[in-house]
Structure 1
Amino acid sequence: MTALIDDVRCEALFVSHLQRSQEPTAEVIRAEVLATVDRLGEAGCAELVAQEFGEHPDCAIGRMRWARTAVRFAFAA
């Protein structure tokens, strides 16, 4: 179950407006993830991730790496 939750969080951060260059805090990341899931829903986040990987695979890989690292940092138990 935790892996699925982490996947949704990563997808939400990936499609959010938050940028790595902003050097967001854990609190900002958590808030952005929750707001993005509320706005788009889980399926909407997944759809946009797929679209970005289809249209911009070169950029999407780096952004997803950042999203995974940031989610681990922000939601560490």
Structure 2
Amino acid sequence: MTALDPDDVRTEALFVSDLQSSQQPTPEVIRAAVDAAVGRLGEHGCAALVAQEFGEHPDCALGRMQWARRAVRSAY
């Protein structure tokens, strides 16, 4: 099994968190949300929920993923 890219894991974790872009979260809040999601779901659990969301809500998922990627890059 290959190692997961830390930024990918963080992005998926933020994607599945309850945090919203409209909250304009600080880097500290983003990191806390990522830690909470990974702690609750695990790395693979976050990835599974991302896949589920893309399957059920593809119209919303792309924008949220783009936001999550940008937010993770700015917070780490």
Q: State the TM-score bracket (shorter-chain normalisation).
A: over 0.9
1:25-60 C-alpha deviation (Å, 9 max, x unpaired): 000000110111000000110000000000001100
Task: Find the counterpart in structure 2 of residue 66 from structure 1.
Answer: 67
Report the CA distance between 1:9 and its aligned residue.
0.1
SS in 2 for 1:17: coil
What CA RMSD, in Å, does the superposition of the two structures yield over aligned residues?
Answer: 0.9
TM-score, structure 1 as length reference: 0.93
Task: Find the counterpart in structure 2 of residue 25 from structure 1.
Answer: 26
SS in 2 for 1:18: coil
Pair 1:7-2:8 in alignment: yes
Residue ranges of structure 1 left out of the alignment (5+ in a row): none
TM-score, structure 2 as length reference: 0.94
Deviant stretches of 4+, over 3 Å? none
User: How many pairs does the alignment contain?
Assistant: 73
Residue ranges of structure 2 left out of the alignment (5+ in a row): none
